[in-house]
Amino acid sequence: HGILINPQVGCYLGFAQTWHCLLHKCTDEKNSKKIRVLNSLIEMIQKFPYEDPTYDKLQEDLEKIRGKYKQVCSILNIQPDFRISTERSSLTF
């Protein structure tokens, strides 16, 4: 399951950065709360220890990131939908 963490967290980061860029252009009070929550998610992901499999709070921090992602989706009124396929795709000629 460890191999599935990087794509999942990477998806969260790309999602958060994209929305941050989109909302950064509109600086009203409504969007400032959204931007603060997005910044919090981005910061959590950037501090996540990808390269340390012995990190003792890995699952705990991952659950916090997932929770923050769900909070961001709720604030943005977006349905969270992240699926990882266990099948490998291949090219055929």
64/72 Cα distance (integer angstroms): 12
Q: Where are the domains of the chain?
A: 7-76
pLDDT per residue as tens digits for the range 18-65: 999 998 877 777 788 899 999 999 999 999 887 777 888 888 999 999
Tell whether the model's pLDDT for residue 88 goes beyond 60. Answer: no
Question: Which of residues 45 and 80 earns the better pLDDT score?
Answer: 45
| pTM score, whole prediction | 0.78
- Cα 49 off chain centre by: 14
Helix axes 58-76, 2-24, angle to 10 degrees: 30
Q: What is the pLDDT of residue 80?
A: 77
